[in-house]
Structure 1
Amino acid sequence: MKQQYQAFHDQLKSFIPDTRLISDPLRTLAYGTDASFYRLIPQIVVRVESADEVSRIVTLAADSGIPVTFRAAGTSLSGQAITDSVLIQLGDGWNNYEISDDASTIKLQPGVIGGHANKYLAPFNKKIGPDPASINAAKIGGIAANNASGMCCGTAQNSYRTLKSMKLVLADGTQLDTGCEQSLAAFRTSHKGLLDALDALARQTRQNDTLRERINHKYRLKNTTGYSLNALVDYEDPIEILQHLMIGSEGTLGFMSEITYQTVDEFPDKASALIFFDTVRTTCEAVAILKNTPVSAVELIDRAGLHSIENKEGMPAFIRDLPEDAAALLVETRASKAELLAGQVEEIKASISHLKTSKAVEFTTDPEEYAKYWAIRKGLFPAVGAVRMTGTTVIIEDVAFPVEQLADAVHDLHQIFEKYHYDEALIFGHALEGNLHFVFTQAFDNEEELARYEGLMDDVGKMVVGKYDGSLKAEHGTGRNMAPYVEMEWGADAYALMWELKELLDPQEILNPGVILNRNKQVHLENLKPMPAADPIVDKCIECGFCEPTCPSRDLTLSPRQRIVIWREIARLEASKEDPERLANLRKEYQYQGTDTCAACGLCSTTCPVGINTGNLTRSIRSRDNENHTKLAQWVADHYGGITTATKAAFKVADATHAILGTKAMSAVTGFARKATGGAVQQWTPSMPTAAPKIDTKKRISNPDAPKVVYLPSCASRTMGPARGDEDRTSLADKTEALLRKAGFEVIYPDDMDKLCCGMPFQSKGMFDAADSKSNEIEQILMQATNNGEIPVYSDTSPCTLRLRENISEQIKLFDTVDFIDQFLMDRLLFEPTNEPVALHITCSATRMGQAEKLKRIMNACSTEVVIPDQITCCGFAGDKGFSTPELNTSALRTLKDSVSECKTGYSTSRTCEIGLSHHSGIDYKSIVYLVDRVSQPKLSTTASTDENQRIQAASA
């Protein structure tokens, strides 16, 4: 670290704990990327927890002359969330929100994810105005700082238009709450000079007819190029001017520590249609007409975009036969009532009835059907990313034109693509606002490619601004990417005004310098991110960051995106052989940061636009590291019955020792032993299970009239009983069998149960051959038990179910706990829900199997109040990681206790997960089977009709 930054680091340590100061080479490299195609490696990353900390850091930075950059989720597309100086990252303390009594406003801290804000507002049929495609990963701080909009937001519901008040930190460290009269009064006194200067600039702007008209013209369209100069003409109060200038300022004028939005209606009834036209011109004519109808969104997809998805599963065959000039519109309309919606649909259809469509216009109100339409639209960006050549990056640009000129603009863009041979480029976007995105792949590994990109951007700039006077950045923010073109778009007077504002609010230029305003006309061609081939598993990663909110290790070590960033750098250094010492250090550090602390849960794949499971990379690395243990792994697999017996014995010994020593001493002894042995002795917790009793498979009650189910208890269920302090001492296997019998099923157990394992313990460590041998063994035994697939199989642990579904024959009808209860037991039981609040943990495997809604439905039948903590995704226990790497489980569940403080019990679908959940929540977690059994009574007699048996057989098939 440079001497200047070392001194700054030492000063930070006086009020920021070491655990929140990052300066090591591996992690600073990991924070050197955002969703753009640039890379700058920070000297220091500071995780802040309060506005007071931000204020002190900014003041210290000003005194030291050291620039700082603020970062929320890092989903920025234009290079505005990276720096080679000090990066200030939001920590855990920024997730609070407050909804007004009438839900007309919502206060949000900058760390709240946009999608979570909408979830909080959903019960009131409200939402926030901005709706960027990244809303399930992007945080409020970034959404407001970039004035992000989205598909339905337009220009009327973005952050600028729906802002009520904010709390902010200025470059001199001053904090201001524009919603507090006391704070305002103090600020008007302390910063009178600043407010007077803003007032003077605003008056000058409003009196300059040419400049005022220029500003008004620019904001007829979506526009995030440069600063929000409309604040100077829209408002006279300097406070209003100041807070509206903060919107879209990308952290270059101040830090927003809280924002209060005016909410907008989220109508419950929706209808969507995918409308095809033979020509782009007709498509754009339709857009101009639809703008005057009750549509909430109109998305355009050009022919290249349709080509990219036409062969995907579920796509109509006729799309492949559309002419080469064809295009489509995805249209959505919303209403407060179904009858109003029907009228709107007819009005929309009538408005374009005179235009020739490739197929008849058909709207759907089926949520599953219109979700498919929107999945098509949202899949366009990753469709390009997934097929790009390894070593290239995928770039998405963002422009806007007057709607009446949209057809000509699309044609001109296609001509530019052809000129520079971007043959794979496609266009889509928010057509209602004239906002188009174009996506293409780009290499930056030679001068020829760099010149091609520069030529493309120059020609796009000349066309968008010179021909159409449009916006070069409609909603993605200026960043570094478009900074050289700000003056071209706005003109000299407006550009000079922007510099005046920057100098007024940040005179030392310490806040994110070089972003939005930059006198270096080549900055968009510098600090380009290398994208070397690293591993086919992750080579398609576009580093967007959508994976990060789901990752249990994101605040302990690395996120999936960061693991890929580091692994790419390792691959680059291996190929170039340029710095062997750095390579060796990265490999050494990656062992813990990347491999040991990865839960390999696969949740990242559920939010990744190109479906990458970074856990597969981790398992692949572990496999290479564990090559010498292959024979041992196979021996364990072959002697698994003995291993499970030994495991139960170990639980008995641990429980007996616990009884003698007590909880405090037991924790201390095992904690010391773990440290002394370098992790060889695993960590004991008070929630450690006792040994499960042996399952008596001979107590079957034969009932030829009852539907049959083969019950497959996991090895965890067979070895792990309740924890010592659990109120219900019944084992999961016994509880499950009792519930199934209550519902009228005859329970069958497979043979040789003690030796069975799905293979997950081996797979997670990269021992793939042993894992496959165990799943193959289960398949053979289940074939016998189910009479070649005639009888359904009940699997009681969701991670095991997922592993088996991916590895055994589909002829075996395998049901997880959630699926079986939802499909077969709900109708056979009477529920009397409890009024006590209960906590629910949706495991990563349940999420990956698409069971979240089913699980909520079951729990809502069991309790009138179900609590699902916002910040908890995968619990991080990861099989045995909770014992071997307990800090991963601790980090993943660090916010759990406060989230479930009103609950006495919690429920899940994985016994190992429940150990960590119980330990870190302070309440007992157990399988949902316990709750379902507790609140239900049999509806049917224990004998079932032949028709009922046939229904179950048909459903399981």
Structure 2
Amino acid sequence: MSATAYEQLHRDLQAFIPASRLISDPLRTLAYGTDGSLYRLIPKLVVKVDSEEEMRRILTLAHQHATPVTFRAAGTSLSGQAVTDSVLLQLGDGWRGWKIGPNAATISLQPGLIGGHANRYLAPYQRKIGPDPASINTCQIGGIAANNASGMCCGTAQNSYQTLNSMRVMLADGAVLDTGDPASRAAFRASHGALLDRLDELGQRTRTDAALAERIRRKFKIKNTCGYSLNALVDFEDPFDILQHLMIGSEGTLGFIAEITYHTVEEHSHKATALMIFPDIQIACEAVATLKSQPVAAVELMDRASIRSVENKAGMPDYFKTLPETAAALLVETRAMDAANLSAQVEVISAALTATPTLLPFQFTDRPEEFTQLWAIRQGLFPSVGSARATGTTVIIEDVAVPVPQLAAMTLDLQRLFDKHGYTGSIIFGHALEGNLHFVITPNFANPAETERYKKFMDDVCKMIVEQYDGSLKAEHGTGRNIAPFVELEWGQQAYQLMRDIKALFDPQNLLNPGVILNDDPEAHLKNIKPMAAVDPLVDKCIECGFCEPNCPSRALTLSPRQRIVGLREMARLRASGEDASRLQALSDSYQYQGIDTCAADSLCSLTCPVGINTGTMMLQLRARNRGALGRWVGDRLGGQFSAVTAATRFGLAAANLSHRLLGSGAQRAITGAVRKLSGDRLPLWNRYMPTAGALPEPDTSTTPGRPRVVYFASCASRSMGPAQGDPETDALPVKTAALLRKAGFEVIFPDDRSALCCGQPFASKGLPEQADAKQREVEQALLKASRNGADPIVIDTSPCSLRLKRNQQALGLKVYDITEFLHDAMLARLTVRKLPETIALHPTCSTTHMGLQTKLKAIAEACAERVIIPDRVSCCGWAGDKGFTLPELNASALRDLKAALPEACQSGYSTSRTCEIGLSLHSGRYYRSIVYLVDRCSQPNTS
């Protein structure tokens, strides 16, 4: 693409795409251009596309300017199919629509919807979509369909190709076809009749070539995502059916899938799982062949190296460490719609394996807590290798497939190739029921010799799979760039030419994702390999898979955790190499806001990261490094005068509230907005849900004997911040909480000097760890004294503070309870609760999630209200301590889906953090307050 053509395209896009969605700066093009593969290409422009009309106009302009484009959904692809050095079209928020058909037999999905969300919507009907990739809680429908992703249970029978009902597709010239709409088909026939006729001809020619047709059918009896879905030419005669099935697995090289309608499949409510240990891989694979004809849903193979990679992790069976070097395991699951059928299936499966020797007896379990732990073994394999690899090395996961009877021989051959090329310690695991295995290697491409070693290894692997087994070089991860040079090797010249004819028919200018699936460069898989520079042990294990992204509150505003790490790695590389100082400066300048300032540091990314990386902690460290001596001095002064800080906060809130009453919301907003602008956005942003001044409860003067004691520590936020003006609840949270504890029959004890106490969380979030720890120690000593050295329980009314203080409770002998768990475990039974005829919203805070208290919070809410809504697509609220005041755009971005998710009948919301509740109120248009207020409203003291 010439610079002139790119500049013309960019200029034309500005006519209808907002500047905020046209990204061309060095940091974000680098970060947004990264996917889960081993390749890196930096796009010249990233366009966040929000609608079909925008996409149509973009493709028309790309066609006009002869500019290549690549479509991107979640970017979890592993073979390089979602990277480009041209224009990257990133799906925005406008592509998350869905509609369930009659009896939930079908579901229509837009490509930006996360796969796991589709299954959540279908769950009430006991249905799900067929594809079940391991990344289903991160990857999006567009990627699932475009890669024909499968997974552990869907096999070849329930993938996107087999469960496709209809599709809305956009071609390279901007033409749109809805294959489920007769009018759209007729219009497309009129405008693109030549294309349909050519597809019809290709299909007839392929079906009449008996040898070619039989080869295609045989190749697709096992999992195969290498090249195009040529089976469409032999499975269907209608050119519309051929067209839509060719789109499946085409990796964005033939067109854009704007919507797909799936036939749904059963989601069985009863499951049982067994872990079987066999003497060697040969016997394990023979067992797979036996299980193939049994009522099993999944059979996962793990070699001895796989087991070794997880044997030292928490929760793993002790016997793993004593297994012989030849051992292999199968994880087997069976599913049914009722318990009786499940039990019968378990008996049948067990009987079928009676003659197969095992090292240990096996037993199926239908207990969710037990089979979840068993599956954690399998799911931990890839991340365990990723976390154990040497710093700077690249994780490469490949997947191949052969007929099940050849599985054992192929596995042994693959192990021999590991030894031959020096990839010792590499692991083999996978979906054995389909003859589909994954293997993981970790080369260090910083060493120039590594590229040649990897080349020779891939050459040998591909020749072995094709020449010895006539298998699939890509079973479910897509061809991408990594296998593109080997497609002809697998398929032969005739079928490969057929693929080229298909590409030329749909994309004659080669503008859609060029270089993917079909690539004339025999060494394309060895080029543009991403560097993995060392940054810090906190993040060096990142494999850039993107699993962290759905939880990140800043992902639609600035960077996600994966992208923050990508930026850090590139800056580290530039510093180490000494090259391109101007680029390094540009990246560093952007990174302060894009990476550090707008990180909520909620650590939710660590919960979905395969290797447990906490990018929030990394950002806090960077804030601490940037804080400087003056910042630390200010932190010391504030920590030492904390009573004055909270008093000043209450005074400021009281003054703002008085001004609000006198001026009204409109004038207040205008004046404070102008003042904030004059301050360079240093002053907090006012909004109509700002809290009034807080208050503390009076000490307990009751003399009722025999009451259990509880120590109540009100956080500095709840002490300082009362309800918002206009909220029907007028009591400050500490007053309400103390009253509710007394209603439940507790004697309430307060720590000494409570107005000066702070758990340290505000200091930690500002990058002042020493001051944070000092304040935490003060609180711990005060709570030790108040609780009589840990004899009494301690209740914290704000979840972020609870989480922080819980971390040291065992060492100190304290019994710290978040308000959620104390309400659930100790208080509800001491109250008479009447369920209110209301619909309420509930927001589990990040800290609630880290403490694992979401279920208890929901149980409390459901005990108090008839209907409880926890909105989809809302995790962290992005208020992040005080960032809702100072960086309100972060809060707005994090909660952009909140209001639309709440029905009109929902008039109030509840959470467990006063600052979070400000932003939740602002962006929902409803008052959010502590769950304490809900329990108080619907409860009375027990009279029994």
TM-score interval for Structure 1 and Structure 2 normalised by the shorter chain? over 0.9
Counterpart residue number, 1:222: 223
Equivalent position amino acid for 1:421 in 2: G
Structure 1 residue 328: Cα displacement: 0.8
Residue 94 of structure 2: SS of its match in structure 1? Answer: coil
Matching residue within 895, 917, 920 for 2:920: 917
Retained in 2: the 8 A contact 1:74–1:545? yes
- Give the secondary structure class of the aligned counterpart of 1:835: strand
Provide closer, same or farther for how the CA distance between residues 745 and 284 of structure 1 changes in structure 2, counting only shifts above 3 A: same
Segment of structure 1 superposing worse, 874-883 or 784-793: 784-793
| Aligned-residue offset at 1:393 | 1.1
Name the amino acid aligned to 2:671.
V
8 Å Cα contact 1:775-1:807 kept in structure 2: no
Name the counterpart of 1:693: 695
Match of 1:609 in 2: 610
Q: Which of 624, 628, 642 in structure 2 is aligned with 1:640? A: 642
Per the alignment, residue 278 of structure 1 pairs with 279
1:665 aligns with 2:667: yes
Matched residues in 1 for 2:703 and 2:588: separation? 59
**2:920 partner SS:** helix
| Cα offset, 1:679, TM superposition | 2.2
Whole-angstrom distance in 2 between the partners of 1:336 and 1:474: 29
1:714-763, CA deviations, whole angstroms, 9 ceiling, x for partnerless residues?
A: 11111110000101112111222222222222222111111111111111
Aligned-pair RMSD on alpha carbons? 1.2
CA offsets per residue over residues 279-301 of structure 1, 9 Å max, x none? 11111111111111111111111
- My pick for the range that moved more, 344-353 or 58-67, is 344-353
CA contact (8 A) 2:290 2:352 kept: yes
Q: 1:700, 1:747 within 8 Å by CA — same for their partners in 2?
A: no
1:690-724 per-residue CA deviation (whole Å, 9 max, x = no partner) reads 0012321x234344422222111111111110000
Deviations for 1:116-149, whole angstroms, at most 9, x for unmatched residues?
A: 1110011111111000000000000100100000
Equivalent residues in 2 for 1:524-673, closer than 5 Å: 524-628=525-629, 629-673=631-675
SS at match of 1:907: strand
- 8 Å CA contact 1:744, 1:940 repeated in 2: no
CA drift of 1:809 comes to 4.4
Is 1:814 aligned with 2:816?
yes
Q: What is the one-letter code of the residue matched to 2:914?
A: R
Q: Do 1:276 and 1:327's aligned partners in 2 also have CA atoms closer than 8 Å?
A: yes
d(CA) in 2 for partners of 1:545, 1:700:
55
- What is the correspondence of 1:187-206 to structure 2 with a 5 Å cutoff? 187-206=188-207
* Counterpart-to-counterpart distance in 2, 1:769 and 1:704: 43
Return closer, same or farther for 1:323/1:509 CA change in 2, 3 Å cut-off.
same
Following TM superposition, by how much is the alpha carbon of 1:807 offset from its aligned partner in structure 2, in angstroms?
4.3
After the TM superposition, which residues 824-839 of structure 1 pair with which residues of structure 2 at under 5 Å, given as runs?
824-839=826-841
**CA offset at residue 830 of structure 1?**
3.5
Look up the match of 1:135: 136
Alpha-carbon distance, 1:939 to partner: 3.9
* Alpha-carbon displacement from aligned partner over 1:361-390 (angstroms, at most 9, x marks no partner): 111111111111111111100100101111
- The alpha carbon displacement at 1:4 in A equals 2.4
Give SS of 1:274's match.
strand
1:895 to partner: Cα distance: 1.6
* Partner-residue secondary structure (3-state), 1:565: helix
Is the alpha carbon distance of 1:465 and 1:633 closer, same or farther for their aligned partners in structure 2, counting shifts above 3 Å? same
Name the CA shift for 1:370/1:826 in 2 (closer, same or farther; >3 Å).
farther
Structure 1 residues not aligned, in runs of 5+: 942-957
Return the offset for 1:455. Answer: 1.1
User: What is the letter of the counterpart of residue 160 of structure 1?
Assistant: Y
CA distance in 2, matches of 1:763, 1:808: 18
1:935 matched to 2:938 = yes
Q: Name the counterpart of 2:885.
A: 883
Q: Distance in 1 between matches of 2:667 and 2:615?
A: 39
SS of the residue corresponding to residue 115 of structure 1 reads: helix
Give matches, 1:377-396, under 5 Å.
Answer: 377-396=378-397
Q: Secondary structure at the match of 1:172?
A: coil
In 1, Cα distance between the equivalents of 2:488 and 2:694?
72
In structure 1, the partner of 2:20 is 19
CA contact (8 A) 2:168 2:258 kept: yes
Q: Please list the CA deviations of residues 568-590 of structure 1 after superposition, one character each: whole Å capped at 9, or x if unmatched.
A: 11111111111222111211111
Alignment partner of 1:870 out of 863, 867, 872? 872
3-state SS, counterpart of residue 836 of structure 1: strand
Q: Pick closer, same or farther for the CA change 1:432–1:704 going to 2, 3 Å.
A: farther
Q: Secondary structure at the match of 2:430?
A: strand
Contact 1:80 1:515 in 2 (8 A): yes
Report if aligned partners of 1:702, 1:746 keep a CA contact under 8 Å in 2: no
Give the whole-Å Cα distance in 2 for the aligned partners of 1:19 and 1:72. Answer: 18
Partner of 2:752 in structure 1? 751
Q: Deviations over 1:823-849 (max 9, x none)?
A: 222333333322322111121111122
TM-score normalised by structure 1 residue count = 0.97
Q: CA deviation at 1:191?
A: 1.1
Structure 1 CA distance for aligned equivalents of residues 463 and 626 of structure 2: 54
1:337 maps to what in 2?
338
- Paired letter, 1:726: D
Distance 2:701 2:141 in 1: 57
For residues 903-952 of structure 1, the C-alpha deviation after alignment (integer angstroms, 9 at most, x for no partner) is 100111110000001011101111111112222334465xxxxxxxxxxx
The equivalent of 2:49 in structure 1 is 48
Q: Which amino acid aligns with 1:300?
A: L
CA contact (8 A) 1:384 1:424 kept: no
Q: Which amino acid is 2:661 matched to?
A: A
Contact between 1:694 and 1:718, CA under 8 Å: does it hold in 2?
yes
Deviation digits for residues 269-327 of structure 1, max 9, x if unmatched? 11111111121111111111111111111111110010011111121211111110101
Query: Does the aligned pair in 2 maintain the 1:30–1:565 contact within 8 Å?
Result: yes
Q: Secondary structure at the match of 1:642?
A: helix
Asked if the contact 2:96/2:112 (under 8 Å) is kept, the reply is yes
The count of aligned residue pairs is: 940
Superposition TM-score, scaled by structure 2 size = 0.98
Percent identity, aligned pairs only, is 59
Q: Is 1:905 paired with 2:899?
A: no
Q: Does structure 2 conserve the Cα–Cα contact (< 8 Å) formed by 1:779 and 1:809?
A: no
Verify the 8 A CA contact 1:333 1:341 in the aligned structure 2: yes
Q: Which amino acid aligns with 2:159?
A: N
Q: What is the rounded CA distance, in whole Å, between the counterparts of 1:424 and 1:775 in structure 2? A: 44
What code does the residue aligned with 2:414 have? Answer: L
* Structure 1: distance between partners of 2:583 and 2:203: 53
Partner of 1:944: none
Counterpart-to-counterpart distance in 2, 1:110 and 1:383: 31
AA partner of residue 170 (structure 1): L
C-alpha distance in 2 between matches for 1:376 and 1:672? 57
Give the whole-Å Cα distance in 2 for the aligned partners of 1:855 and 1:244: 45
Amino acid in structure 1 at the alignment position of 2:778:
E
Q: Deviations over 1:615-674 (max 9, x none)?
A: 111111100110222122122111111111111111111111111221112112222222
Q: What is the CA-CA distance between 1:608 and the residue it aligns to? A: 0.3
Which whole-Å CA distance do the structure 2 matches of 1:143 and 1:212 have between them? 26
3-state SS of 1:93 partner: helix
The residue that corresponds to 1:65 in the other structure is 66
More displaced 10-residue stretch of structure 1: 662-671 or 227-236: 662-671
> Is 1:781 matched up with 2:782?
yes
Secondary structure at 1:544 match in 2: coil
Residue 300 (structure 2) aligns with = 299
- 8 A Cα contact 2:5 2:66, kept in partner: no
Q: Which digits, 9 at most, give the CA deviation of each residue in 1:32-58, with x for residues without a partner?
A: 210001000011111111111111111
Alpha-carbon contact 2:63-2:172 (below 8 Å) kept: yes
The answer on whether the counterparts of 1:743 and 1:940 sit within 8 Å (CA) in structure 2 is no
Matches of 1:286 and 1:742, distance apart in 2: 62
Q: Deviations over 1:799-826 (max 9, x none)?
A: 1111112245442111112211222223
Letter in 1 for 2:644: G
Q: Could you give the per-residue CA deviations for residues 836-879 of structure 1, whole angstroms, max 9, x where no partner exists?
A: 22111121111122222222222222222212221111111001
**Residues 1:310 and 2:329 aligned together:** no
In structure 1, the residue corresponding to 2:439 is in which secondary structure?
strand
CA contact (8 A) 2:104 2:122 kept: yes
Name which of structure 1's ranges 740-749 and 99-108 shifts more when overlaid on structure 2.
740-749
Distance, in Å, in 1 between the alignment partners of 2:481 and 2:391 is 25
- Does residue 727 (structure 1) correspond to residue 728 (structure 2)? The answer is yes
